[in-house]
Structures are given as structure tokens and as C-alpha cells.
Structure 1
Amino acid sequence: MTICAYATFDDADSDDELQPVLAAWREAGIEGRAERWDDPAADWSAYDAVIVRSVWDYIFRREEFLAWARRVESVTRLLNPHAVLEANTDKTYLRDLGVPVVPTHWSSDGLPDWPEYVVKPTVSGGARDTTRTADREEARVLAAALEAAGRTPMVQPYLDMVESEGETSLLYFNGRFSHAVRRNPMLAPGMTMADNARAHLRPPAPDQVELAEKVLAAVPHALLYARIDLVRLPDGAPVVMEVELTEPYLFLGHDQGAAARFAGALRELL
């Protein structure tokens, strides 16, 4: 029997994908056990693989998390691999993708003249420490405060298309497309975290698939899972907002076969 760890955090009950994934793994002949990633008593060498999933507190201690991933990879298979996690947990990776991304300014100096700004640190999640403002000086001050705290800021234009067109997330398991969803805009007026978690299936357009697969082709590692978040610019061109390769929510509940495809991808990689 293949045994895999589902790496989570100390609030695993907030992960509504944990139990469906473990059930799908069982159907695929894989015994899965939830383990807190920072549990000092966990014996990672006892597993055929450790699957990084809802490690949602890593943003507060990224270096500790990456050191953990390095240790785990020294004793068993880690998916996604440490090299992927190290690159993907700092959004400066957007500078090196080689594909169209949301326009991004990486300092508090010389901000472009945009109607609205989104300011956030490059290590963050769930819109933490993220601000939307129409005030250029406020955006500069927010970015400077991140710099003063030793954090790299990223300043982007707020794109109205996230409200009209929506953000499209494409999900891939072992390099194959599984499903896509339209997500609600996190920074729209009155939007809550619960609203943002709601989504619905959306077949991706051919230009979105082409862009997502260019991103995947540039990653020199096997990926159990990948979520490519795209939005359209005002001229209609798709661009990358984020490439989620560390602990993305997979929207498994939105497609009846998604959990089984995820389990099947794991079985293939093992």
C-alpha cells in the first residue's frame, strides 16, 4: 500500500478539500494521512511521498517552511518539489516568467500614473497586507512602508476587468488540464473572503489555455498540481496574475471528477 502525507497546518479543519482528497486517494489505492507540516514529531521518512497542500501559514515564516521542505525532500518524495516551492513563494517570480503578466512596479520610487493601484508584498496570501487605492501618494507610502519592513513591494494597476470579465483560474494535474473556474474579485467593493471563495466552472478560451501552457512549459520540474490565475487587460489580452504552485485551493468541489483526476495524477507520479 502506498502511503502519502497530506501536509496541512494547525487549522486543518478550515481546509474543505482535505477529506475529499483523502477519499479520492483511497479509491486510487493510496493511503493518505493529514500531517501538520511543522509538527516536530512527524516522521516524513515513513511516507512514500509528502504532498504539500494547505500550508497556509507559511507566509509568516517562509524560511522555516522552505527549510522544512528541504529536509523532507532529503528523506522522501516531495510534491511539489522544494525548488518549485522556493521560487513560487516569492512573487518576484513574475519577473522571470517570460510571458505577459499584469503590469508590476517593484519599488516605491517612480510609480506609474495609473487610475488605481494595488499594493502588496511579494510574500503574502489571501490578500493579506494588500491595499487598493486611487491615491498615488498613498500607494507610494504603502510601498515604502513595506520596504522599510524589509519586504519587497509590488505595485500593480487595479484592472476593472476582474469585475466585469472576472479572474479565470486554470487547474492542471501532472501537466494535464483538469478544469477552470471564474473567481470573484477579492478587492471589489463589499467583497468578503467568503465571496472570493465562491466560483463557478468556466471553460477557458483558447488564448487562455495557450498562455497557461506556456507557463507550465517553462517549469523544469514535474508538478503534481498547478493553478494558473489569469485576467484580461482592457485590450482583451490575457495576462498572468499568479502562478500557484505551493498551496493553491484547487476548487475540487466545482467539478465532479476533479478529485479523482488529482488522485490519478498522484498515482502516475508515484
Structure 2
Amino acid sequence: MTDHHQSTRGKPRVALVTCSELPELDPDDRLVRGPLSARGIAAEPAVWDDPAVDWTAYDLAVLRSPWDYSSRRDDFVAWAARVPRLANPADVVRWNTDKRYLDELSVAGVPTVPTGWVLPGERWQPPADRGEYVIKPAVSAGSRDTGRYDLADPEHRRLASAHVGRLGATGRVTMVQPYLRAVDTAGETALLYLAGPDGLAFSHAIRKGPMLTGPDEGVEGLYKLEEIAPRTADGAQLAVAERALAAVPGGPDRLLYARVDVIPGPDGTPVLVELELTEPSLFIGYAEGAPDRLAEAIRAHLARDRPSGHAHAAAVAPDA
């Protein structure tokens, strides 16, 4: 890894922000380093909570895989506020790292998965309809502490109540959502957006296969393995995504990237599951040209709103 104080001979410096468990980045994120280098931009991984990192030495810090933040969200949000130039911005990080933003999007008219919330100390009564439900913390990453429960099964009802209690005992807010069975057949669609010359623009889409098979039994590492394949997004999915992005506080034009996850609802029309603006996998390895589109988005962010007197940022090279 490049020394954080090493001269880059005038090249703009970009930190690709990660965590200590992935010090050399997720393999998908590594794909952008070559396109960035071809554009005269020096990019290197930097661990978000490493005290040796001088964030002022970078022209831009791009959040990529700081996936261990969920157990220390307050620290992470405070860190984000201290980084001079961060993508996506620190106020978006604060808003987006607590999934209660789904309520705001629903009020704004975005079709979302119906979600209930259980605050720490509240007593939770399992829904009477005895369908399948997903239980997870409002602050989470990588399907940690997430389970699927069939409430027609008395043992599942017991385990679901225990799951809610376990989250509440550690001071976490619990979210409870009906399990949308279409994910077992159609899967989940992730729509990826990257900044372009006219603002945030659709780049590509992928299909994620079903991940939840039963009650939460704990998970090793940062995330559960996903079944990923390229997908062509349809007009209805794109319409939901654009409505969700339009409702982002401060507007979508400040964003470097966004991922909008949708699933067919009970009537077959897409509903929002999550709007990922903080550290989503961008799956740039699944779409031709996506690494270059991400590099272009980063270059555009470097060029705009350039702090006066910041020598590195002036060196953004044209396409190689």
C-alpha cells in the first residue's frame, strides 16, 4: 500500500475507503484503480478508522467497503464529518446509515416494503397474520443479524421474539418487514447509478438471488455470499429508482453513486427494499464499461467544487 504521506508528483490523490478486514479493498472495487490511473489519478485503499491516515492529504475520499461500521455507527458518522472531501457526503452518510430513512421515502411517495420499528425496551408482539417476516437491525451491513421467520411455526415465533429482544438488549432499533416471496423466484434487482456530466445517471443492473433461508444464526465475517448475475432493468424498476433518488435530502446531484434495491411486491410491481448511498457494492465487474464510468464519476467529483489552492486537484488528466 502506498505510504499516506508519499508524494504523488502532482497527481490528484483519492482514498478508496475500506475497513481493516479488507485492507486491499473488495475485489470488485479494485477494478477501478486501473481506469483511475489511466486518467492521471492516484488511488489507494485507506482504512476508515486507521489513526495513521491523514485524510487532509487526499483530494477526495470515496466510501467503498467500510463494512464494519454498523457496530460503531456513531463513530463512523463522526469520522465522516471530519473528512474534508467525502463521497458520498457526510450528511448523506448520517441519513442513510439508519434505515428509518425508509419512512421518509414512503411519505414522499416512494413504494417501499412496509416496515415496522421496535425501539429498545419496547415489547414486540409477532404479527397475527402468521406469514413470513424479516427481522434485522435498523443499522446494519451485509445481512448481519438478519433472519427470516415463518410465524405460522411456533418455534419460529419464539426465535423471532428472541431476535427482537436480542437486538433491543444491545440498544438497537429493530425493523420488521414482510418477506416478499417473489425474491425466491425473481430475485432482487439492484440498479446502479453513477455521476455523469448531467448528474446521476443509470449505469447497470444486477440480479441478487435469495439469501435468507431461515432464522438468524449469526454470520462469520462481514457479509453473506450473494448469487449475482447481470440483469436488464425495466421501466417500472427505473421509475421507482428515480423517484427514490429524487427524494434524497439535498438532491441526487451531489451523489457520486447510488444503488437502489427493488423486489416485486405482492401485485408484481417493484417496491424499494433499500436505497444504498453509503458503502454499497457497485458490482462494476458485471457490466461492460462500468469501471471506466466509475472512474469518470470520480474524476468529475475531483474537478468540481475544487478548494482554492489545492494543488493536486488541478492535475486531473484527460482520458489516456
Q: Which residue of 1 aligns with 2:170?
A: 149
Sequence identity percentage: 46
Per the alignment, residue 313 of structure 2 pairs with none
3-state SS of the aligned residue for 2:100?
A: helix
Matched, 1:2 2:12: yes
Is 2:181 aligned against 1:173? no
Q: 1:82 aligns with which of 66, 72, 90?
A: 90
TM-score for the superposition, normalised by structure 1: 0.92
Say whether the 8 Å CA contact 2:148–2:213 is kept in structure 1.
Answer: no
Code of the aligned partner of 2:276: E
Contact 1:80 1:246 (8 Å CA) reproduced: yes
Alignment-derived partner of residue 19 in structure 1? 30
What is residue 70 of structure 1 aligned with on the other side? Answer: 81
Report 1:94-243 matches (<5 A).
94-97=102-105, 98=108, 99-107=110-118, 109-112=124-127, 113-135=129-151, 136-174=157-195, 175-188=200-213, 196-219=225-248, 220-221=250-251, 222-243=254-275
The alpha-carbon deviation at position 110 of structure 1 amounts to 4.7
Query: Are the aligned partners of 2:230 and 2:286 in contact in 1 as well (CA < 8 Å)?
Result: yes
Superimposed CA distance per residue, residues 55-82 of structure 1 (whole angstroms, 9 cap, x where no aligned partner): 011112111111111111xxx2110000
> Would you say how many aligned residue pairs link Structure 1 and Structure 2?
265
3-state SS of the aligned residue for 2:274? strand
SS class of match (2:124): coil
Are 2:136 and 2:176, in contact at CA under 8 Å, matched by a contact in 1? yes
Compared CA separation, residues 114 and 21, structure 1 to 2 (3 A): farther
Larger Rg: 2
User: Residue by residue, what CA displacement relative to the aligned partner does 1:139-192 show, whole Å, maximum 9, x if unpaired?
Assistant: 334223322321111111111100111100000001110000011111147xx9
Alpha-carbon distance in 1 for matches of 2:283, 2:26: 11
Q: Which secondary structure does the structure 1 equivalent of 2:27 belong to? A: coil
Please give the alpha-carbon distance, in whole angstroms, between the structure 1 residues aligned to 2:29 and 2:234. 30
- The residue identity in structure 2 corresponding to 1:42 is V
Distance apart, 1:246 and its partner CA: 0.8
**1:104 offset after TM fit, Å?**
1.1
Say whether residues 1:263 and 2:284 are aligned partners.
Answer: no
Q: Per residue, is there more helix in 1 or in 2?
A: 1
| SS at 2:113 equivalent | coil
What is the alpha-carbon distance in structure 2 between the residues aligned to residue 141 and residue 20 of structure 1?
Answer: 42
Q: Aligned partner of 1:37: which letter?
A: W
SS of 2:288 mapped into structure 1: coil
- Counterparts of 2:75 and 2:170, CA distance in 1: 19
Counterpart CA distance in 1 for 2:19 and 2:96 is 19
C-alpha change, 1:130 and 1:195, in structure 2 (3 Å) is closer
Q: Which structure 1 residue ranges, 5 or more long, are not aligned? A: none
Partners of 2:35 and 2:130 lie apart in 1 by 46
Change (3 A) 1:84 1:230: same
Greater displacement, 214-223 / 158-167: 214-223
The residue type paired with residue 201 of structure 1 is P
Q: Which has the higher contact order (CA 8 A, sep 6+)?
A: 2
Q: Compute the TM-score of the two structures, normalised by the length of structure 2.
A: 0.78
Question: For the Cα contact (< 8 Å) 2:18–2:25, is it kept in 1?
Answer: no
Tell me, yes or no, if the aligned pair for 1:163 and 1:188 is still in contact at 8 Å: no
